[in-house]
Structure 1
Amino acid sequence: MRIAGLAFVLGLLALIIAVYVTRSQLPSFDELKSSPNGQMIRVLAADGTPIVSLGPSYGEWLTYDQIPQVMKDAMVAVEDRRFRSHIGVDPVGVVRSIQVRIREGHWMQGGSTITQQLARNIFLSSAKQFGRKFREGILALALERKFTKDQVLELYLNKVYFGGGAYGIDAASRKFFGHGADHLSLSEAAIIAGLVKAPSHYSPTADAEAAVGRAGVVIGLMKETGKITPAEAAAADPKAVKLAAESNQNSVRYFTDWALPQLENLIDEPTRPLEVYTTIDIKMQAAADQAIRANAPGNAQGALISLDRDGAVRAMVGGKDYVSSIYNRATTSLRQPGSAFKLFVYLAALEAGKRPSDRVVDQPVTIDGWSPRNSSGHNSGEMDVRTAFAYSVNTVAAQLGQEVGFSTIADMARRFGITTPISTYPSMVLGSNDVRLIDMTRAFASVGAKGVAVTPYGITKVTSMGETIYSHEVDRSHVLVAPYVAAEMTDLLQTAVNTGTGRAAQIGRPVAGKTGTTTSNKDGWFLGFSSGLTTGVWMGRDDARSVPGLQGGTAPARAFAAFMKVAVAGRPVEQFDTAVTLPELQLDNEGDFGGPDNGVFVDPDGNPIPQDQIAPDTQTGGGDAGLPPSSEDDQPQMAPDGDSAPPAPPQRLDRRWLDRVTGGDASGGRPPPRNPAPDRSGPADRPRDVQEHRPSQ
């Protein structure tokens, strides 16, 4: 007992010595007021133009007397109701934290007082470690030995982080409400006080409902602690608080949100101010934003990413409006690519020995119980590989997949940068696996780079106080396929743009690309390259519902063309390694590649599902809903009953036309086909228990 008592006395003496030694080493009040916290980051475009400044922002320093009483009461009520009575560390809070730790097996709440939080924010990290908590306690005790309660609260309210780069209540008030914190209302003070627990989660600009709910909790605690009357609590209405309009929040923030988190892996500099030089091209970014806004259907979203030949991201648009939705559909969204995935089918076939001029047969085929078909249910017999690709013939893609092996196609996709899981059931050749736009764009860029891997990057250099601490180096050492395979794939891709499903993507110079459309017009894709620039476009609804009239060859291809005309305007025209060769077409029925095939349904394992087990509302394809025809819409379609619609007037291709769309001399081509009719649909988004697969374009 004596030993325990002696140990307690010695421990207490050591604690007192530690506290007073720490107190003697603390900065003065004025020094703490002037010391910043947080890291400033200045982001520059490729030409050195500043595009955004991120990091801490500070408003006016408010003295204790200038801070509204309602703000002080709100913060104390929600963060540390015994603030005025404890000595810097709250024994009740510590005991409660230990109890939770024992019950849950890990730290759920730290029991930190306002003084401890101030110590952590100024001097320590946020890591939940016992050593850090002990040092935090010593610092808190020392702070309260050196400063008054009013000074501690003044420091806290002027330095604590409230999210969105805002430090202190004045910066938070200006960011969220558009005015200084010296005249905050009860509801506004409650919203700000509620942010400290989780600034990103309770931010009113990110989740207004969560912010209002948290503010209600704060008001309830203020009433419970007697800081406001029940009548004042009832009169408060956080929902009615008017938020300030976001400033300088444009589409380039999609890019900075993607690029800046990479700094953590590139450099080790947590405090000094940084200048981050990026790959973004201001002119291209503006053109990309305009192309998506102008061409994406009104009820749909759109995304675009453009890569230079070395992988530099020149433009990135993750949605129509960053202010209303910060979700980046270019880098995060997982969607089915439809026939755009046939890039990997044909790459695998070309590597296995197929050639664009080789003969294939469009004929009925059944693979493990799965029978893909062309939209009319008819087949056109023998044709060459170039024709099959140009008009996205599904039965040929299925046969090629069976011939080279579906696992081989999956391996090819992974080789070219597809990072999402790839199932290898036969219907995968029609693009039934979810992918990201950035990964698909990367794959097309690698084809355009003659088979050498292209890795997207957004940061070229990072400097701090004049010192370069990071510089990007492009790796061109990874060869994915032989140059001749890439050249032949480019041959097929440029044919698809010149005479096939991607004609709306023509820009007056050589373009190679591919469309993709999923069942019921849920997704539309166009990906292609020209003059060293590769651009991918996706359009669709976030809830994966049908978008009438949406096809890869319509709005996405038009957005691609609108962007690329601006993006490559200052670049020299580059011819591809292979001259344009027109596809041959021997079609008995010109509607063979028209509307969606609604009769082929398989489960997630690729097994056929009987028609009587399929919900009626999943058996209808998308239509044009009265939209003006263009590109693919000009071609014969399938009528609702499955019969071909009346054929369009004959279309002729001559040498002058071919010269105009390719920017060079046409050679080596056969006579053009009459009324080439691309197919228009693709695999649907995969429901939990049913997967619908239809021919894709």
Structure 2
Amino acid sequence: MAERVGRRKRKVSIRALLLIAGLFALIILIGMQLYINSRDVSALTDPLPQSSVIYDRHGEIASRVTSNQIEGVSSEEIPDVMKQAVVAVEDQRFYEHDGFDFVGTVRALTTNVKSGGYVQGGSTITQQLSKNVFLSHDKTLKRKADEFFLAKKVEKTYSKDQIISLYLNQIYFGEGAWGIKRAAAVYFAKDPQDLSLSEAATLAGIIKAPSALSPLNNEERAIQRRNLVLSLMHKQGFITAEQVEEAKQDELKLETRNVDPYRAKYPSFTDYIIEEAERMYGISESELLAGGYRVYTTLEPKVQEALEKVYANPDNFPAGSSGEVAQSSGVLLDPKTGGILGMIGGRDYKFRDFNRSSRLKKPPGSTAKPLLVYTPALEEGYDIFDMLNDSPTEFEGGYSPQNHTKDFRGKVSMYDAVINSYNVPAVSLLNEIGIQKGMDAAKKLYLPVDEKEHRTLGNLALGGFYGASPKQMAEAYSVYANNGEIIESHAIVKIEKVTGEEVAAFEEEKERVFSKEAVEKMTFMLKGVVEEGSGKNAKIDGREVAGKTGSTQTTDNNDGATSNQWFVGFTPQIVGAFWIGFDKESEENVLPIISGAGSPSAKVFQQVVSEALEGEPVETFKLPESLAKKKAQEKDKEKKKQQEAQAREREAKKKEEKKREDKKKKEKKKREKKKDRDDDDDDEDDDDDD
């Protein structure tokens, strides 16, 4: 009886729990629906705002921007094959899901893993549309949640045909072409309704990586991508096998119709203008994009175009063990003014992407050594050829740094420690001058070093602090090309309303960070890094270049890989900082260690700067001749020491050989004497026998 009562109670308890869980789920679903219903997505069809114009440093138009980069066309003007091609490659279950597609996400991931690269997108077309129109490109959980809810509301508000049409009007196709109307004109000199199947598949294939897959930049890759899209269209029943083969045989007849050449040009630099206008002058993104402003900037088109040319070629960048090509970003500025000449936020960068050139937060590695250790030490009276500790040492807290070469030299000159990027001398030197000297330098150089979190020898001496952007590192290194003075880096010179009224202007303020003498000595050593050390890849024929390489350990301390690779360098007229790595490190997404002076980031610097300075006057650092003489003297001393050591070694070898010869002679005499005695004994035995 009691057992039956117990079973009934358990059944009631389970039912109650299920009822409570069901109520909670219902409340959550109702809450989600209420939240989705509250989202306003009417901006998708708002009238176009007035564009703002961005001018370069010469006063010429560089770009035009607006909160809506499109010239819209109606759904009827977009051919079905164009819509089908995009669905095939970007969102196969577009007509089945309600904004978020779990099945499609898993399938796309599986397909991409099997193919060893990107074939299908994971986000739905509705999610991409919501993100592009309403959200920033920050990689946060909040942004992903917002994207989910907005996609749901878009699906409730608009038909599938409206969504695919809005998407094709909003998406970036490269070459400054936002939307299908401009894309058709830029690549094929056509209106969208006149696109052929082959042309539609080509445009759909571009969306994934506009710079790398543009037929104007790489026709062969564009054709390969087109053929993949055609195969996917056939697989999904949009076209027949005969249509696939016929379209594959079509020759790509590229022809450009005149469009506004400034629309959405230089997206990385333009994005930074938006960022700086809000941070420095309080002009919001929406105000700038819709207000019809005139923004005068420090942009040098020649520099920006050199950046974009190098970054358009994936072969210029290393890949992880998975085969995925690393990301990268870079900034170039004028050290005499602090003006940013050009910047690039990543490979395949699109307008309103995550701008790694200014927003990246990665440890700068050994590029911090000159700024936070060696130059402060020079200020304290140390000299270039002073001998520094390079032996196994345990510092406070049990910290025992290692050199990347996994060995020690006992003592090493500051010059050799810098050009070979040894770790132990840098840590030892910072320990000697005091960690506060490094902290003070970081503050003056605008580096993001936190007094509490980063106040350790390793964080400062070896650049382990988290984290810095290429813009910040270029700004800090500008002191070396500007006689020890720093000017805040900036891209905006002034902003005017359409009426000509000035609403913002940059006010230049110089601050002395290091003495001219200390900077000259540090520059001399950084020249050595490029001429004979770890930065040889940055050499530019006919020009003086100085700089420093840097790398950081992987999270699992993999001795055969690095997580970030840097080069920060300068000539007398330009400073550049370049980072290579992955947004999210994993076991496969790390960079191989390249022995010697083969730094990939230094090579990118060399490629960009050599093109940016082509035809420009050759300038020199004008360093005191005494530094070169001192180096020659020290080299002579070192050579003499080596010769003396070699002579001593030869003398020691001779003595050792003589000892061995003498020993051999003695042993030979002993053997001969013994033989003589043995012979005498034999003779005596013979006499006895007789």
The normalised TM-score by structure 2 is 0.55
> Does residue 1:200 correspond to 2:231, yes or no?
no
Q: Is the 8 A contact 1:188 1:241 kept in 2?
A: no
Cα gap change, 1:243 to 1:315, in 2 (>3 Å): same
Q: Which residue is 1:291 aligned to? A: 310
CA distance in 1, matches of 2:617, 2:564: 31
CA distance in 2, matches of 1:531, 1:387: 23
Higher mean C-alpha deviation, range 42-51 or range 573-582? 573-582
Q: Which residue is 2:458 aligned to? A: 427
Find the partner of 1:246 among 172, 175, 182. 172
Unaligned runs of 5+ in 2: 1-45, 84-93, 100-124, 178-210, 212-264, 320-324, 554-560, 640-690
Q: Give 1:257's aligned amino acid.
A: D
> Does residue 1:670 correspond to 2:650, yes or no?
no
Q: Which residue is 2:607 aligned to? A: 562
Cα gap change, 1:405 to 1:583, in 2 (>3 Å): farther
Q: Which residue is 2:274 aligned to? A: 260
> Does residue 1:440 correspond to 2:468, yes or no?
no
CA distance in 1, matches of 2:526, 2:424: 19
RMSD: 4.3
CA distance in 2, matches of 1:374, 1:236: 61
Q: Is the 8 A contact 2:129 2:167 kept in 1?
A: no
Q: Which residue is 1:385 aligned to? A: 414
Q: Which residue is 1:548 aligned to? A: 592
The CA deviation at 1:433 is 0.8
Q: Give 1:433's aligned amino acid.
A: F
> Does residue 1:538 correspond to 2:538, yes or no?
no
Matches within 5 A, 1:30-45: 38-45=49-56
Cα deviations by residue, 1:565-603 (Å, 9 ceiling, x for unpaired)? 12223133223324596799xxxxxxxxxxxxxxxxxxx
The CA deviation at 1:290 is 2.5
The CA deviation at 1:668 is 6.3
Q: Which residue is 2:197 aligned to? A: none
Q: Which residue is 1:341 aligned to? A: 368
Find the partner of 2:327 among 280, 296, 301. 301
Find the partner of 2:445 among 416, 420, 437. 416
Q: Is the 8 A contact 2:496 2:502 kept in 1?
A: yes
Q: Which residue is 2:423 aligned to? A: 394
CA distance in 2, matches of 1:280, 1:523: 27
Find the partner of 1:328 among 339, 355, 365. 355
Q: Is the 8 A contact 2:52 2:291 kept in 1?
A: no
Secondary structure of 2:590's aligned partner: coil
The CA deviation at 1:211 is 6.3
Secondary structure of 1:536's aligned partner: strand
Cα gap change, 1:448 to 1:505, in 2 (>3 Å): same
Find the partner of 1:50 among 29, 48, 61. 61
Secondary structure of 2:547's aligned partner: strand
Secondary structure of 1:462's aligned partner: strand
Q: Is the 8 A contact 1:365 1:371 kept in 2?
A: yes
Cα gap change, 1:668 to 1:212, in 2 (>3 Å): same
CA distance in 2, matches of 1:383, 1:583: 19
Q: Is the 8 A contact 1:515 1:553 kept in 2?
A: no
Q: Give 1:46's aligned amino acid.
A: R
Secondary structure of 1:331's aligned partner: helix
Q: Give 1:528's aligned amino acid.
A: G
CA distance in 2, matches of 1:450, 1:386: 20
Q: Give 2:402's aligned amino acid.
A: R
Q: Is the 8 A contact 2:328 2:579 kept in 1?
A: yes
Equivalent pairs counted in the alignment come to: 432
CA distance in 2, matches of 1:672, 1:178: 73
Cα gap change, 1:54 to 1:396, in 2 (>3 Å): same
Q: Which residue is 2:112 aligned to? A: none
Q: Which residue is 1:635 aligned to? A: none
The CA deviation at 1:384 is 1.9
Q: Which residue is 2:623 aligned to? A: 577
Q: Which has the higher helix share?
A: 2
Q: Is the 8 A contact 1:341 1:430 kept in 2?
A: yes
CA distance in 2, matches of 1:194, 1:359: 58
Cα gap change, 1:221 to 1:381, in 2 (>3 Å): closer
CA distance in 2, matches of 1:480, 1:332: 24
Q: Which residue is 2:649 aligned to? A: none
The CA deviation at 1:436 is 1.8
Secondary structure of 1:243's aligned partner: helix
Q: Which residue is 1:406 aligned to? A: 435
CA distance in 2, matches of 1:529, 1:237: 51
Cα gap change, 1:574 to 1:218, in 2 (>3 Å): closer
Cα gap change, 1:359 to 1:528, in 2 (>3 Å): same
Q: Is the 8 A contact 1:364 1:379 kept in 2?
A: yes
Q: Is the 8 A contact 2:332 2:342 kept in 1?
A: yes
CA distance in 1, matches of 2:167, 2:275: 31
The CA deviation at 1:481 is 1.6
The CA deviation at 1:296 is 1.6
Find the partner of 2:485 among 413, 434, 452. 452
Cα gap change, 1:187 to 1:511, in 2 (>3 Å): same
CA distance in 1, matches of 2:424, 2:548: 18
Find the partner of 2:400 among 371, 380, 389. 371
Q: Is the 8 A contact 2:573 2:619 kept in 1?
A: no
Cα gap change, 1:166 to 1:187, in 2 (>3 Å): farther
CA distance in 2, matches of 1:426, 1:529: 27
The CA deviation at 1:517 is 1.3
Counting aligned pairs with the same residue, the percent is 23
The normalised TM-score by structure 1 is 0.54
The CA deviation at 1:413 is 1.5
Cα gap change, 1:217 to 1:529, in 2 (>3 Å): closer
Secondary structure of 1:453's aligned partner: strand
Q: Give 2:62's aligned amino acid.
A: I
CA distance in 1, matches of 2:70, 2:517: 55
Q: Give 1:527's aligned amino acid.
A: V
Q: Is the 8 A contact 2:344 2:355 kept in 1?
A: yes
Cα deviations by residue, 1:605-641 (Å, 9 ceiling, x for unpaired)? xxxxxxxxxxxxxxxxxxxxxxxxxxxxxxxxxxxxx
Q: Which residue is 1:273 aligned to? A: 292
Q: Is the 8 A contact 1:401 1:426 kept in 2?
A: yes
> Does residue 1:518 correspond to 2:531, yes or no?
no
The CA deviation at 1:238 is 6.3
Cα gap change, 1:386 to 1:312, in 2 (>3 Å): same
Higher mean C-alpha deviation, range 556-565 or range 446-455? 446-455
Q: Which residue is 1:156 aligned to? A: none
Cα gap change, 1:382 to 1:263, in 2 (>3 Å): closer
CA distance in 2, matches of 1:193, 1:562: 37
Higher mean C-alpha deviation, range 265-274 or range 571-580? 265-274
The CA deviation at 1:556 is 0.6
The CA deviation at 1:377 is 4.2
The CA deviation at 1:52 is 2.2
Cα gap change, 1:194 to 1:383, in 2 (>3 Å): closer
Cα gap change, 1:194 to 1:188, in 2 (>3 Å): farther
Larger Rg: 2
